[in-house]
Amino acid sequence: MENNQCKKTTYSSKEFADLDISRFANSSRDKKPTYSYRCKKCLGWHITSRDNYQTKLRKVEKELFEVKLLLESKDKELLKRIHEVKNLKTEIELLKKKR
Ligand SMILES: [Zn+2]
């Protein structure tokens, strides 16, 4: 997929990314890439060193937690609505009986 957002090398599959990691393993670079991950922006695969990976992992975990909180608040809202509808139903039943 074409994408200008990612300046990193993009691989079309995990296999290709991992292949490059094994190539870097024999190089003399300081920060050797050790992890491959799926990129949310370009949907391709990138490789990164362990430190970068941990940072990304924490970021994703934080996002996941925020989504969880959002869903829980929506759940509460929904339960409140259901409760309101139930109350209305009861009221209607009472009104019917009074007639
Ligand atoms: Zn990307």
> Mean pLDDT across the stretch 9-35?
89
Predicted structure pTM score: 0.51
Query: 45 CA to middle of ligand 1, Å?
Result: 7
Q: What angle do CA 37, 17, 47 make, to 5 degrees?
A: 50
CB 53 within 8 A of CB 34: yes
Q: Encode pLDDT of 43-97 as tens digits.
A: 999 999 888 778 888 999 999 999 999 999 999 999 999 999 999 999 999 999 9
Ion ligand 1 neighbours, Cβ < 5 Å: 6, 39, 41-42
pLDDT on residue 92: 93
pLDDT on residue 83: 95
Under the banding of pLDDT at 50, 70 and 90, the label for residue 38 is: very high
